[in-house]
Amino acid sequence: MDSRRSTSLNADTCARKRSRKIVIIKFGGSVLENDNSYQRVAAFLVRRLHQRAEERLLVVVSAQSGLTDELQKLAAAITEYPNPRTLDLLWSTGEIRSVALLALHLEKMGVAVVALNVHEMGLLFSPLSQGQRRVEVSSAEVQAPWRIIPWSSCRDCLER
């Protein structure tokens, strides 16, 4: 095959992949209960990817069930009135843990995935009519087929 034709085919394939619809799926702590639940979520995501190859998934996860409460108790044992910003930082450690655990389960299944923390995100939320919000992705890190991010990176934007 002519190398120019090969380059052209690769460019077409890349352009089609970039134009795929981004679908955001959120898994809360009530779903993420233990190691088996992370495995089940990973299997669900792999099935979805195979069934809907036209989608790029942006997976948002909360902390594992009960972990945020444990972190709250830890903070309360240290100080009666924790700074909300510091408390949010502490809670985000549970969410980042969930990101890493889900990414590890997907990697075990042979899925190339990038786990991101809140600082690596580039999500922009702009209001639409009737209370809906439009999500724009400005980070190059989010443009690949699989991304897993902590809930805290979306929560603040959605609550505004």
Could you give all domains of the chain from N- to C-terminal order, each with its CATH number? 21-122+140-151 (3.40.1160.10)
Work out the percent of the chain whose per-residue pLDDT is above 90: 42
Q: What average pLDDT does range 20-34 have in this prediction?
A: 88
* DSSP H helices in the chain: 3-18, 35-51, 67-78, 84-108, 152-158
- 10-19, 27-36, 145-154: which is most confident: 27-36
Greatest extent of the chain over all pairs of C-alpha atoms, in Å:
70
